[in-house]
Structure 1
Amino acid sequence: MERFARGRDGGVDLRWTLETGDVGIAQCKHYPKSSFSQLLAAAREEVPKLANLEFTEYKFITSQELGVSQKEQIYNLFSEHMRSPQDVYSGFDVDQLVARHPEVERRHVKLWLASGTQLFWATHSELANRSEALRERLERTLHRYVDSTAFGLATRLLSEHKVCLIAGEPGIGKTVLARMLVAEAIARGFEPVEVSMDIDEAWAAMQGDRLQVFLYDDFLGKITFSERMGKNEDARLSDFIGKVSGMESKLLIMTTREYILRDARRDYRQLERMDRRLHFLLELEAYSRLDKARILYNHIWHADISRESLRGLADGGWSRVVDHPNYSPRLIEYCTRPSFGLAADDYLDRFVDALAHPEEIWSEAYDRHLTEEQRALLVVVASFPAEVGINDLQSAHFSFCAHMGIPTSVRGLRASLEVAEGTFVALSKRDDDPAAGLYSPSVGEFLLDVIANDHELLAGLVRSAMFFEQLSTLATARTGGVSLGRRSTVGPTDALPLDDFWPDVAAGFTRTFDGPTPDRILNQTGYMTGYEPPFGYLERRLLLLLNLPAAARPDVSWINDKLRYVADRWKQGKGWKPDAVKLVQAVGREDFIHGEVKDYIKIALESWLSGQLSETTDWNIYLDYLQEDRGVDHPADLAIAFEEHSQSELDRWDPSPPDLDDLIYHAQRFGLDEVTDLLREKASEDEEREEARAGQLASTPAARPRPGRAWASDADIEAMFSRLAQSHG
């Protein structure tokens, strides 16, 4: 089978030799967005070309979905060259061919990833419901993704090490590549786990030898690593990476900005020691000229571009975009959204201007295209650390608008969200509840700069905050330093200028401490599933207050009272042990905390840790605490209790208990030789199962890097865009 380049083909797209030695040819017409009459007219133009060709078999192939009568009409045009209407192949027929020849599907990444993920979600409906937002993001990404050498290289890295850390500059396509790696894993049967807060979520979700792929996007924060890296987070992350890299049934995909990774490695010992073989640096050079053209083509394909603009792109206008020094996938995405004004006659000129002056994109849209209420909504969204439920957003938005004297209403809020969606705001769902977050880190950087440079705006946000987390965001955020056409009074990574408002911040923390949190985690209890506040949100609130300047903290007696309150919750088994340990350690370092309060919360913590040792993670936390706080390593009086726990775990789990490595380690440290031998037997069985599973995975075809053309001729790309213009007729 021969196939020929796009362009003038003389009526031949495919050519093959029959067993008799005769020649067969085919003409291919894409035309999925055109009417049947347009396709029929294009087919009619092919008829005269056949008079000058020698062949004995002819087929006409289109991606349009045809009915019986439509096939008959095309057949009537070519009846003297065809045996029957079956020689007219529609989109349905092509789908059936692909189904009969799975090796073809496997060679085309987007084809088999799309079908593989659809099959996975169809057979895992309970997981699809819990991961609806992730599923929607993956499906949107698949539509516009262009396969490049970066995908093959990252896939190979993930296959070899089970961990892939994708770093790069903003807008280069890190998140898109990460999502495609997740889709590739899903297509092979891995269950996705999205980590949103910290690596403890991944530890909690890890399940034995179950196939799982963990996605930790912006794992060091979207603007600075201080957003995510709490105490010992680097050590826990390093431990998790080590765990995953030794398991065939687990994959871990992380993304971060290169400069944040560089800064974090300088300040965090464990990150500096992280195996650099896991680091995949995504650079613009990873995209060939043809890759860039295809990325533009894919986005234009899904956009409602005017015919005149399409002709301008096909007549060489594509080179003004593809060869622009500021080309980036994120800018291509932005300039092909409906909000960019796709139908205007000057579309191509504005596209190129946006590439030349990307710093003006957000500023122009914010200043010129949004109402006062819409701008108010955006700065309120920016005051939250992550996506926020619409009901919580409404409360915060109404409070801010009332304080600033801006008229608003429920209808106005909904209308503002509709205007901002896809440009400044991304809408999603948490369970059945809608939620909103910033569309991209670039939007966050811009809005933080707006807030930092507007004294009245910053004051209004502080004084009207309805949630503790809004104030914590404002108190700890760092500006992006990308003033975007504005006269800036702050530099990159400066804190927001809150010196004049610390009393208001402290009063706000006092007002909101006992209030609800916009943060939610998925909690499953029996048949009940829902999103609830994180277990340790009160501990985290107190930890934040201890780390702030004294001027920003509430009254000392108030903090002491809240510490007692949280300790009383620990006595009831409420809270999150890792954060409770951090809090007790932090309190021990502060002179302004009363001595009796320090003793009170320490006794409460130790009683909680020692009195609830039902899971291996409970033992890990307690034994680590004893080691750090008292310097006691595996005290002998706990050996019998741990032996009973280990035996219970062996009896409770089939084929083997989770955290098996931890059980073995502690059994050795306690000197429990018989238990250690039993646990090692289970570990050997696990290794045999992992090896067997590795053999199964190795036999499953996976996406592999394919050499592509680093350079494409103008004729190749022009032919591609001319086809696009025709098919959008």
Structure 2
Amino acid sequence: MNNYSFNTLNDKDFEILSLDLLNAEYNLNLQDFKTGKDGGIDLRFSSPNNKNSIVVQVKHYLKSSFSILKYKLENEELPKVRKLNPDRYFCVTSLQLSAKEKDIIVEIFKPYIISANDVLGNEDMNKLLRKHKKIEKSHFKLWFSSTEVLGSILNSAIEGRTRSYLERIKYKIPLFVMTKDFDIANKILEKEKILLITGQPGVGKTTLAEMLIIERARWDHKIYLINTIREAEDVILSDESKQLFYFDDFLGEVYYEILSGSQKESEISRFIDRIKHSPNKYIILSTRTVILEQAKAKSEKIKRSRIESGKYEIEVFRYSDYHKAKILYNHLYFQRLNDELFSIILKDKFYFDIIRHKNYTPRIIEFITDYDRTKKMSGVDYKEFISFNLEHPEEIWNYSFRNQIRLQDRCFLMTLFTFQRNVEESFLIKAFGERLVYEKNLNNISVNSEQFIDSVRSLLNGFIVSIISDLDKGKKRYSFINPSISDYLVVFLNNNYAFKKAIIASAVYVEQLEIFNPEKNQFILEEEIQEIILNKICNNNLDSIDRYKEYRLDGIYLQVLVKYCKSINIDNCLLEVFKRLNLDRIWWFEKELRYVFESLNNCPTTELFIKQNFLMIIGKYIKNIDDKNLAMELPKIFEKFGFNYENFILKESFQNLVLEMISKIVLETEKDLMDSYKDQVINMDDYESLIYDDVNDITHNLMNKLCSDIAMDIPRHYSEDELLNQLKENESNNQEFLGREKKRKEYYKEVHDKVLVENKKIENLFSTIKMTDL
């Protein structure tokens, strides 16, 4: 027999449950109202003679006492009831009430409460739920307040790992927000026996799977949390026992083996087929959408398997504003913030700023509503705290990073950080391995041969995400689950010199230094760190992940030395790198060379080498310039190294070199501008105003700056016929655009109307907030 405590329901949930039960039991049509200043009404039935014919007051007191309830009823609700003067008054509470306590409440509200039957406590609500089973089924979160149900669920776990997983889910239940995805997914699972949950990271795939798992456990299914198909094969039974297998991120993990040429894809398809044809066997699979699509493209067996069919799949999208609002509401309610902090959320509808913020995530909502973190804050402090953390979500990672993961995992995250956005697995493995060697030598940390895989499993979906980037070559890429982790690590490393030093000392690739670029103003590079960088370059200990590193690496070395090592002597090392440059390939590193030309200081031997070879170097440099800014700075480069540009340009060979450079820049400018503006021209005059005025200005500026005494006519790249054809194409495209614009306006009008309705629902939700007494 179920016995619910209602502690997984918020006040609004309990009020709706009361509405459903009273309507069903007494055949009423009670109305639900926004609470706010409710005037003593939560639910009401109106008759022709009395608009307040039946009034219901709902008190959801989770951790309170009868004395507090009695005080509230006598001092706050009784005056309101007298004013309402109902024909009949119900008092509903989640507290357990004795017969004596019910009689006291009847006496308080005499004559409005007809009998003790109109006072419903915890035991009465449970009795009604047992009588009205359909209502019980419709209130999902209710199930988890029953110790009987919870015990049954935990007993459904076959082994310790699954039991531990279900225990963790238990504490998340009150915060769950039900969406239509649950019913759709449940129907697919029941009908097809296979459910594939797809979607991008962070959209709720795991949450949906957990709710489905709990419901199946409730109905006596044995639950199996599996990491490989082989694990499932070992425990699947041939009889009619109810079994549910849950395989999270199944393709992401399995592709380690599929792409190495094993038969794992056959195992997947065979096992799914076995599920389909075995009684009472079900499987839930989850994966990121992009991996599934790549899997279908790569594997014929997976493409032909049952998971390929759309009828087995539900794709989870991002939360709507209303669902975001419900998540916020649940956290506010169950974290039991005080009235002052509640009022900050309500004032000027601040909740809209929260749920519509670009950085909104359930994780941030959990952080900003945490009771222990906020209990001593004033209202003003709390609003600043919320705004700061929404704008700087990186702060929420501090506790987890420092206290919830191992040193090896922190080293993994810091290594990933140095690649800035995402990185191919092979590069990350090598860089992480070098970091572990550094830690082992310096701090004697223990490292096992599977440390990379161990750290990935520990951090996946909590801190990092992975994606198959090249199925044919078996390449996988890693990135942070949220960019705010990178922001957090900037702060962390600025306050932890030893870790910053360790990152640079263990760097394998020159790209790992880019995050420390002084021009980004994120880090100070102390002289000791500059010496480390210098030694790595001098000893050629920095590789590159650039596919064209053969052409570019020495140029990058030059720029790193000049840009990163300004406080130490780099002259000898810089000269050696400069001598290695293949100037016939100068196009690959012209921008790096430009930086050296502009910024070189206190390097006399390198400057002397450049002066001795200046005409040869500058000639090759000019030949490869295709950027007007680089071209305009040529006279300054001559001046820096003691040469006269005016004398240089008098020589016919150099003159021709500069004119060819100008011609190339102008033609490229014309093509770039045409690509940018060609869709906007509607007549020939537009070409002049949008494109050729700029082309002529650039031509004039370059000629005036670099060879003012020379006349040159630079032909246009595009002929008149080509320009006319573009005009015709634009006219045709414009007609199509007008048709699309009409449809777009109709669509956005519909969206606007939906937004207005959703906004009203959100306002109604938050108007119901009221403190629950402790």
TM-score w.r.t. structure 2 length? 0.50
Offset at residue 200 of structure 1 (A): 0.8
Map of 1:187-586 to 2, 5 A cutoff? 187-196=218-227, 198-208=228-238, 209-221=240-252, 225-226=255-256, 231-273=262-304, 274-284=308-318, 287-315=319-347, 316-337=349-370, 341=374, 343-345=376-378, 346-359=381-394, 361-362=396-397, 364-365=398-399, 370=402, 374=403, 378-380=406-408, 456=435, 459-460=438-439, 464-470=445-451, 473=454, 479-480=478-479, 482=483, 484-485=486-487, 486=489
- The answer (yes or no) to whether the contact 1:128–1:135 under 8 Å persists in 2 is no
Instruction: Answer whether contact 2:197 2:313 (CA < 8 A) is retained.
Output: yes
Name the count of aligned residue pairs.
444
Relative to structure 1, the CA distance from residue 125 to residue 714 in structure 2 (aligned partners, 3 Å threshold; closer, same or farther) is closer
**1:727 corresponds to 2:726:** no
1:157 aligns with 2:188: yes
* Pairs within 5 Å for 1:600-615: none
For residues 342 and 452 of structure 1, the distance between their equivalents in structure 2, rounded to whole angstroms, comes to: 43
Instruction: Provide closer, same or farther for how the CA distance between residues 126 and 243 of structure 1 changes in structure 2, counting only shifts above 3 A.
Output: closer
Q: 1:47 to 1:263 in 2, by over 3 A?
A: same
Structure 2 distance, partners of 1:228, 1:139, is 35
Aligned to 2:32: 4
Separation of aligned partners in 2, 1:338 and 1:477: 40
Q: CA RMSD in A?
A: 4.4
Query: 2: distance between equivalents of 1:166 and 1:73?
Result: 53
Q: Which amino acid aligns with 2:269?
A: S
Work out the CA distance in 2 between the residues paired with 1:165 and 1:15: 44
Quote how far apart the aligned CAs of 1:142 are. 2.2
1:186 and 2:231 aligned: no
Q: 1:114 to 1:260 in 2, by over 3 A?
A: farther
Q: 2:96 is paired with a residue of what secondary structure?
A: coil
Partner of 1:627 in structure 2? none
Structure 2: 5+ residue stretches without partners: 1-27, 414-420, 457-474, 494-504, 510-753
Q: CA deviation at 1:195?
A: 0.4
Letter paired with 2:360: Y
State the Cα distance separating 1:99 from its structure 2 match.
2.0
**Match 2:165 to one of 100, 109, 134:** 134
Pair 1:360–1:272, CA change in 2 (3 A): farther
Contact 1:189 1:211 in 2 (8 A): yes
Q: Are residues 182 and 472 of structure 1, via their aligned partners in 2, closer, same or farther at CA, if it must alter by over 3 Å?
A: closer
Distance 2:339 2:68 in 1: 15
Aligned to 1:392: none
Q: By how many angstroms is 1:28 displaced?
A: 1.3
Q: 1:125 Cα deviation (Å)?
A: 7.4
* Alignment equivalent of 2:108, drawn from 69, 77, 88: 77
Q: Which moved more, 1:129-138 or 1:203-212?
A: 129-138
Percentage of pairs with the same residue: 28
- Cα distance change of structure 1 residues 725 and 212 upon mapping to structure 2, 3 Å threshold: same
Once residues 711 and 458 of structure 1 are traced to their aligned partners in structure 2, the CA distance between those partners, rounded to angstroms, is: 58
Q: Distance in 1 between matches of 2:154 and 2:453?
A: 41
- Kindly indicate whether the alpha-carbon contact (under 8 Å) linking 2:143 and 2:149 is maintained by their aligned counterparts in 1: no
Structure 1: distance between partners of 2:293 and 2:450: 27
**Contact 1:219–1:228 under 8 Å retained in 2:** no
Larger deviation: 712-721 or 38-47?
712-721
1:45-194 alignment runs, 5 A limit: 45-53=76-84, 55-112=86-143, 115=146, 118=149, 121=152, 124=155, 127=158, 131-194=162-225
Q: Which runs of 5+ in 1 are unaligned?
A: 386-441, 490-495, 501-708
Provide the rounded CA distance (Å) in 2 between the counterparts of 1:319 and 1:297: 12
What corresponds to 2:624 in structure 1? none
Q: Which entry has the higher C-alpha Rg, 1 or 2?
A: 2
Q: Which letter maps to 1:332? A: I
Q: Does the CA-based 8 Å contact 1:202-1:214 persist in structure 2?
A: yes
Equivalence map 1:619-698=2 (5 Å): none
- In structure 1, the residue matched to 2:539 is none
Q: Provide the secondary structure at the position in 2 that maps to 1:60.
A: strand
Higher relative contact order (CA 8 A, sep 6+): 1
Q: Please state whether the residue corresponding to 1:146 is helix, strand or coil.
A: coil
Q: CA–CA distance in 1 between the matches of 2:455 and 2:61?
A: 51
Q: 1:448-483: CA deviations, max 9, x gaps?
A: 999968965563269743533326557999542556
- Deviations along 1:464-516, one digit per CA (max 9) or x if unpaired, are 43533326557999542556125799xxxxxx98969xxxxxxxxxxxxxxxx
Who is 2:646 aligned against?
Answer: none
Cα distance, 1:461–1:272 mapped onto 2, change above 3 Å: farther
Residue in structure 1 matched with residue 72 of structure 2 by the alignment: 42
TM-score by length of 1: 0.52
1:27 and 2:51 aligned = no
Contact 2:249 2:286 in 1 (8 A): yes
Distance 1:450 1:73 in 2: 71
How far is the alpha carbon of 1:288 from its aligned partner?
3.6
Write 1 or 2 for the structure with the bigger share of helix.
2
Q: Secondary structure at the match of 1:182?
A: helix
User: What is the CA distance between 1:88 and its match in structure 2?
Assistant: 1.8
